Structure 1
Amino acid sequence: MRYSASHKLETREKLLESSAVSAKKSGFSTVGVDALMKAIGLSGGAFYSHFSSKDELFASIVERELCQSLERLGAEQDRDRLERCLKHYLSMSHVEHPESGCALPVLGAEIARSDLVIRQQAEKWICQLQESWARILESDSLAWAILSQCIGALVVARMLATPEIQRTVLKSSYDEIGRQIAGPRN
């Protein structure tokens, strides 16, 4: 039975969405092709009509997720919107639901171990986000510092077992970022 081109695109999108959620929840390398396909109700063999390899799927996930992060975190913001974005980013909701949040804290280590093409692709999106924040903050270095602090704070909070300590990490980071934003501009 032949499927229409739109069906193939819809299936590919379902696979990307499902695989991104799985990767952000459990790590990309921990899930096999068969499990990724089973999650959308298809056999493992159907995978190769959408992607030539699991690495190609990972590259597509990285591009998709970082593009979405850029839209949420960097698109045409002002200082007030950036601060609201940061407050949401550094929230317990984001700690508790990695599957619906930024890919960088959960996939960063896997991206770092990936081939040069995937790292360059991630670099492109991360630099676009940093440039967006630098325009708002009027400082390249402050934008890099805040971007790194946000990702790091989320990683540390997720590593901890006690919600009270997780909240302390998030609040401390948010408060410090607030001081950095309010302080003198360089």
Structure 2
Amino acid sequence: MRYSASHKQETRERLLQSSAVSAKKEGFSTVGVDGLMKAIGLSGGAFYSHFSSKDELFGSIVERELSQSLERLGADGEQSRMRLERCLKHYLNMAHLESPETGCALPTLGAEISRADEGVRQQAEEWICRLQQSWARTLGSDSLAWSILSQCVGALVVARMLVSPDIQRQVLKSSHDEIVRQLPTQDVQ
């Protein structure tokens, strides 16, 4: 039985969504093709009608996840200090820390992206630079935008490595407070 093009696209989207959740929760390299397909109720053999390799799937996950992060964190033209502060508050909180599968891909997949092939790393670089440029326009500083982006990702990584929720909260709150202290007092744009 042949499936319609829309059915194939819907299956691909389900596979991307399910694989992204799995990758952010457990790591991409830990799950095989059969496991990824089983999660959406299909056999491993069906995978290759959607992606030529697991590496291609990973590249698609990185692109999808980072484009969503860009959408959430800043490239809609409505960027302001207040909006940036709201993003920081949402990003550096316990709900985000406790739900890696629904959050930003950078803290969860960063190490795997750094070990991926050059094409995946180039794709990640493009999306990260777009986010940094958006924040730089708001902040009036390229270096401050890079610093804040790095601090946010790093704070989440460090907090997730810790066991005690009190210390995790302290890491997130301290990071948030220090970042907000660095922000210009008014919008630059």
Q: TM-score, normalised by structure 2?
A: 0.96
Q: Which amino acid aligns with 1:73?
A: L
Q: Which amino acid aligns with 1:98?
A: P
| Corresponding residue SS for 1:71 | helix
How far apart, in 2, do the equivalents of 1:106 and 1:119 lie?
Answer: 15
CA deviations on 1:46-67 (whole Å, 9 max, x unpaired) are 0000000000000000000000
What aligned pairs does 1:113-152 form with structure 2 within 5 A after superposition? 113-152=115-154
Which position in structure 2 is the counterpart of 1:40?
40
**Contact 2:139/2:184 (CA < 8 Å) preserved in 1?**
no
Moved more, 173-182 or 8-17: 173-182
CA deviations on 1:119-147 (whole Å, 9 max, x unpaired) are 11100000000000000000100000000
Across the two proteins, how many residue pairs are aligned to each other?
185
How far apart, in 2, do the equivalents of 1:20 and 1:5 lie?
Answer: 22
What aligned pairs does 1:27-106 form with structure 2 within 5 A after superposition? 27-75=27-75, 76=77, 77-106=79-108
Change (3 A) 1:120 1:148: same
How far apart, in 2, do the equivalents of 1:183 and 1:72 lie?
Answer: 23
1:184 is displaced (CA, Å) by 10
1:183 is displaced (CA, Å) by 6.7
**Contact 2:15/2:37 (CA < 8 Å) preserved in 1?**
yes
User: Runs of 4+ in structure 1 displaced over 6 angstroms?
Assistant: none
How far apart, in 2, do the equivalents of 1:14 and 1:59 lie?
Answer: 16
Which position in structure 1 is the counterpart of 2:23?
23
1:182 is displaced (CA, Å) by 4.1
RMSD (Å) for aligned C-alpha atoms: 1.3
How far apart, in 2, do the equivalents of 1:132 and 1:183 lie?
Answer: 18
Q: Which amino acid aligns with 1:47?
A: F
1:162 is displaced (CA, Å) by 0.5
How far apart, in 2, do the equivalents of 1:80 and 1:178 lie?
Answer: 10
Q: TM-score, normalised by structure 1?
A: 0.97
| Corresponding residue SS for 1:51 | coil
CA deviations on 1:148-181 (whole Å, 9 max, x unpaired) are 0000000000000100000000000000001111
- Percent same amino acid among aligned pairs? 79
Q: Which runs of 5+ in 1 are unaligned?
A: none
**Contact 2:74/2:134 (CA < 8 Å) preserved in 1?**
yes
1:81 is displaced (CA, Å) by 0.5
How far apart, in 2, do the equivalents of 1:47 and 1:165 lie?
Answer: 42
Q: Which amino acid aligns with 1:92?
A: M
**Contact 2:107/2:157 (CA < 8 Å) preserved in 1?**
yes
Which position in structure 2 is the counterpart of 1:12?
12
